Amino acid sequence: MAGITAARISEVLSGVRTGLFIGGEWVAGAGTLAVEDPSTGEVLAEVADASPAQGLLALDAAVAAQKDWAATDPRVRGEILRKAFELLTQRAEDFALLMTLEMGKPLPEARGEVTYGAEFFRWFSEEAVRIAGRYATAPSGGTRLLTMKQPVGPVFAITPWNFPLAMGTRKIGPALAAGCTIVVKPAELTPLTTLALVDLLTEAGLPAGVVNVVTTSKAAALSEPIIRDPRLRKITFTGSTPVGRTLIEQSAQQVLKVSMELGGNAPFVVFEDANLDRAVDGAILAKMRNIGEACTAANRFIVHESVAQEFGARLAQRMGDMVVGRGIEDDVQVGPLINAAAVQKVSSLVADAVDHGAKVLTGGRTVGDRGYFYAPTVLTEVPRTAGMFSQEIFGPVAPITTFATDAEGIELANDTEFGLVAYAFTESLTRALTVAERLETGMVGINQGIVSNPAAPFGGVKASGIGREGGLEGIEEYLETKYVGIAL
Ligand code: NAD
């Protein structure tokens, strides 16, 4: 663990305020909640555990701040976000280490997430001053049609543990730019990054009550009263599809504006004319980024039968060579899974695939005797009936199946309730465009294993969600369009 000393770890952990942040004040919770390091199982910190009543106090604060924040000049809102981007960039090493400690990803990947996460603040600092409506003449003449954009109002954001920083900034950035106040409930497994982030936003000049953070072990009990409160106007959620469905049901009562970034089951399709070097590089990125714990992770490798053997052998070689270990150690490429339940889930999906006839090319086992490590695994001849083809694996396991015709490959790719992202590798422009049009997903990566980009609209179709984050579309989720008809 060359560069990262115990003293450095305690320096970063002791810099994090561990209370609830409500109305610009740090307050104690109703109890405390332990945060674990998944690479050792040791407790890193105790943070405030909010009661449902404290969740409503956070909403009170967001409601109280809404009018003034909406009336704040766009340039001022943008400058606060810009300052927050700069502070995050300056403190990239602290944020990266914090994420590696609480979530497990290797430090180089955590640094990448700081860059990606900070960019949402820069992008939306630029969007804050470009919010505009339009003015038109009605087709029949006479009446003029004016549209104006207004902030939707107080927002409730619930974020997952797998990207502790970026999943927060992707919501906070556009909310603040649009003039919305927000209550953020980070995942109970990784709350430290969000707590450090709200401290940084305050330093960047954010007024009290505009962003409020509640950490809790009682996600459902705290969230439901907030969602059912008539003062709330929007919910934005990133997490699993089952929880997303529950939140959509709850939000129906107040007819909330809803953004849902839910689960995925990404197909990674390799056509017979693919450049296999690019395909294997893309596969490593699409599968192994974030230890396979990404909604965008390639979940099913659908490979043309003429190249499947070579692709499988090359992928198994590369994945088998990857260094597994604590994310703070030098050269580590694969950190631990988030907890024991995640290891159990991955292990049982692999056992189920093998029972269905799959062959293990590499991996297929846990690693070490402490922490939650699982070896990078490649499986071939995985039949369609294996559980891992219909469920998110959320771990470092690459199952390969084959196809003979393009139509069959596309049919296999679309054979899922999910529709977040798909990857396709081909050297033919015609095939690439045809396939991109036919894939039933919100995003497609052509000859690349990563699509996330703050300047692009991220989101899914089918059971993968509603709405888009980032790009020109991202801010629209936090705005209402008001139409004014004017008789001339
Ligand atoms: P999760 O749904 O278990 O939890 C997500 C968040 O919801 C956490 O903050 C949790 O505390 C909270 N939560 C859980 N139950 C709740 C309830 N009943 N009411 C209110 N809040 C509740 O998901 P997770 O395990 O943290 O994250 C992994 C999932 O997130 C995967 O399915 C992954 O695909 C998805 N994800 C999607 C995207 C995307 O952009 N589409 C990005 C990252 C993760």
pLDDT category, 357, cuts 50, 70, 90?
very high
C-alpha closest to that of 316 among 400, 191, 220: 400
How far does residue 310's CA lie from ligand 1's centre (Å)?
36
Question: For residue 49, what are its two tokens?
Answer: 């555990």
Q: What's the residue count for the chain?
A: 488
pLDDT of 420 over the 80 cut: yes
How far is CA 373 from its chain centroid?
A: 22
Q: Whose CA is nearest to atom 20 of ligand 1?
A: 220
pLDDT value at residue 464:
98
Question: How many whole angstroms from 96 Cα to the centroid of ligand 1?
Answer: 21
CA atoms of 147 and 345, how far apart (whole Å)? 50
Average pLDDT over residues 298-306: 98
The residue type of 334 is V
pLDDT at 1 over 90: no
Q: Whose CA is nearest to atom 28 of ligand 1?
A: 239
Query: What is the reported pTM?
Result: 0.98
State in Å: Cα 332 to ligand 1 middle: 27
Site to probe by mutation for ligand 1, drawn from 243, 260, 337, 452 as the one with most ligand atoms within 8 Å of Cβ, is 243
From the CB of residue 352, how many other CB atoms can be counted at a distance below 10 Å?
Answer: 15
Instruction: Render pLDDT for 66-123 as a digit per residue (tens, 0 to 9).
Output: 999 999 999 999 999 999 999 999 999 999 999 999 999 999 999 999 999 999 999 9
**Which pLDDT value is given to residue 431?**
98
Question: Residue 269: what are its φ and ψ, rounded to 5°?
Answer: -100, 125
- Give the tens place of pLDDT for each residue, 247-265: 999 999 999 999 999 999 9
Which candidate, 395, 381, 388, places its Cα nearest to that of 319? 395
**CA pair distance 184, 328, nearest whole angstrom:** 28
385: number of Cβ within 10 Å: 11
pLDDT of 433: 98
Residues 89 and 422: their CA atoms lie apart, in Å, by 31
For ligand 1, atom 18: residue with the closest CA: 220
Mean pLDDT of 257-281: 98
3-state secondary structure of 126: helix
119, 261, 272, 392: the catalytic one is 261
| Pocket of ligand 1, beta carbon within 6 A | 158-163, 167, 185, 187-188, 219-220, 223, 238-240, 243, 246, 261-264, 295, 392, 420, 460, 465
User: Which tokens sit at 82?
Assistant: 């810009």
Given the candidates 3.50.50.60, 2.60.120.260, 3.40.309.10, 3.30.300.10, the CATH classification of the domain at 266-454 is 3.40.309.10
DSSP codes of every residue in 251-286: HHTTT-EEEEE----EEEEE-TT--HHHHHHHHHHH
Closest atom of ligand 1 to CA, residue 241: 32
Q: Are strands 373-374 and 366-367 parallel, antiparallel or unpaired?
A: antiparallel
Give the percent of the chain with pLDDT over 90: 99
Which residue is catalytic, options 36, 113, 180, 295? 295
- Asked if 392 is an active-site residue, the reply is no
Query: Which atom from ligand 1 is nearest to the alpha carbon of 239?
Result: 30
DSSP state of 324: B
Task: For residue 333, report the distance from its CA to the centre of ligand 1, in Å.
Answer: 25
Which of 238, 182, 218 shows the shortest CA–CA distance to 22? 182
Closest residue (by CA) to atom 40 of ligand 1?
261
The stretch 192-218 carries a mean pLDDT of 98
Q: What percent of the chain has pLDDT over 70?
A: 100
The CA 239 to ligand 1 mean position distance, Å, reads 2
Cβ atoms of residues 342 and 394 within 8 Å: yes
Query: What is the reported pLDDT for 3?
Result: 72
Q: Whose CA is nearest to atom 35 of ligand 1?
A: 239
| Phi-psi category of residue 47: left, alpha or beta, with phi > 0 → left and psi -120 to 50 → alpha | beta
Reduced to 3 states, what is the DSSP secondary structure of residue 169? helix
How confident is the model over 288-304, as a mean pLDDT? 98
* Domain 6-262+465-487 in this protein, CATH class: alpha beta
Q: What is the CA(45)–ligand 1 centre distance, in A?
A: 22
CA angle 282, 287, 293 (to 5 degrees): 145
Closest Cα to atom 23 of ligand 1: 239
Domain ranges of the chain: 6-262+465-487, 266-454
Structure-token pair, residue 337: 């899974």
Q: Which atom of ligand 1 is nearest to the CA of 458?
A: 40
Q: What is the mean pLDDT of the chain?
A: 98
| Residue matched to tokens 């984050």 | 469
Query: Pairing state of beta strands 43-49 and 31-36?
Result: antiparallel
pLDDT of amino acid 407:
98
**Whether 381 is catalytic:** no
AA letter at 22? I
Q: Residue 367: which H helix or E strand, with range?
A: strand 366-367
Cα 21 to ligand 1 centroid, rounded to whole Å: 21
Residue 166: which residues within 8 A CB-CB, separation 6 or more?
113, 116, 117, 120
40 has pLDDT over 80: yes
Q: What pLDDT is attached to residue 283? A: 98
Q: Are 124 and 466 in contact (CB under 8 A)?
A: no
From residue 4, alpha-carbon distances to 1, 258, 330, 466 in Å are 6, 41, 9, 41
Cα-to-centroid distance, 366 and ligand 1 (Å): 24
Q: What are phi and psi for residue 423, nearest 5 degrees?
A: -120, 140
Quick one: which of 348, 162, 395 has its CA closest to 261?
Answer: 162
What is the arithmetic mean of pLDDT over 33-58?
98
Quote the CA–CA distance of 224 and 228 in Å, as a whole number. 6
> What pLDDT, on a 0 to 100 scale, did the predictor assign at position 314?
98
Question: In a 3-state reduction of DSSP, which class is residue 22?
Answer: strand
Which burial class, exposed, middle or buried, applies to 454 when counting CB atoms under 10 A from its CB (0-12, 13-18, 19+)?
Answer: buried
**CA-nearest residue, atom 39 of ligand 1:** 261
Start-to-end CA distance of the chain, whole Å, equals 73
Contact (Cβ atoms closer than 8 angstroms) between residue 427 and residue 433: no
- Who contacts 279 (Cβ-Cβ below 8 Å, separation ≥6)? 270, 311, 425
Mean pLDDT within 175-192:
98
Q: Is the pLDDT of residue 2 over 70?
A: no
Mutation test of ligand 1: which of 192, 240, 452 has the most ligand atoms closer than 8 Å to its C-beta?
A: 240
How far apart (Å, rounded) are the C-alpha atoms in residues 369 and 132?
Answer: 57
